[in-house]
Amino acid sequence: MSSDEDEYINNALFQEPNDYFQPAKPPTHTSYTLLSGQTLHLRLVGHNPLWAHHLWNGSRALSTYLQQHAPLLATGKTILELGAGAGLPSLVGAILGARKVVVTDYPDAELIDNLLQNIATCALLPQPATAVVAEGYRWGASTRHILAHLPSPEQGFDILLLADLLFNHRCHDGIVSTIVQTLARSSEARALVFFTPYRPWLLEKDMAFFDLCREKGLEVGKVVEQVMEKVMFEKDRGDELLRRTVFGYEVRWKDLIETQ
């Protein structure tokens, strides 16, 4: 190789284009109206490769469902949310009187800081908002630091919240593992899994998540099907009605349900 070629490789070939590193996008803000008519304001990260810069339809639908069934799903309960993004369902659960809420997302400093800010600035939370904590967590990892927030860590959480996580097909095993580790061994405990098939041609892969749940001794039941006003991503391809529809499922311990 000539010295000219050497110089080209060192100075040009492995250099990033001038516009490769885009400037960081500033945070944005959105809102959600509770069934009571009150407005909950949320901060979203400016941009994130894990898509936390969106308030997903699954989060909105799950938050509404929590309000419709507050005595069963929120009031006095211990709640864990996975992949929370802005943390809307967790905040709603806390507003409805949950005993303890642990809201989690991938252990990225920006994501966790954003959750902490949404907790700190939520005027609708009972004050001081000590019932809500934010933690970084990677699906499938040890849950010891998550369970440590409970009065009795060995008992697990009454309610798990999962909104629009199923498109991460490679992460299904880790998510199911986390459910098994954290869901209380109680006939009343349940994981609420809400999702939209944003890529309708992959719906079968989305639904494969529930087969993994069944393999772990969990019972799966559909609880809601809600058509949202708008699609999340207008330019996406595939059946628009499916891309507007949120499907909600309830996951519970099968053996405990059967002995009721």
Annotated binding site for S-adenosyl-L-methionine: 56, 83-85, 105, 139, 163
Cα separations in angstroms, 45 against 111, 113, 157, 196, 208: 7, 9, 28, 22, 30
Could you give the CA distance from residue 67 to residue 64 in angstroms, rounded to a whole number?
Answer: 5
Q: How many other CB atoms are found less than 10 A from the CB of residue 180?
A: 16
Could you give the CA distance from residue 225 to residue 51 in angstroms, rounded to a whole number?
Answer: 23
Angle at 142 between CA 141 and CA 144, to 5 degrees: 150
Angle at 88 between CA 189 and CA 201, to 5 degrees: 80
Known binding residues are 56, 83-85, 105, 139, 163
Helices 203-215, 172-182: axis angle to 10 degrees equals 40
Cβ-count burial of 190 within 10 angstroms (0-12 exposed, 13-18 middle, 19+ buried)? buried
Q: How many residues does the chain have?
A: 260
Could you give the CA distance from residue 187 to residue 204 in angstroms, rounded to a whole number?
Answer: 29
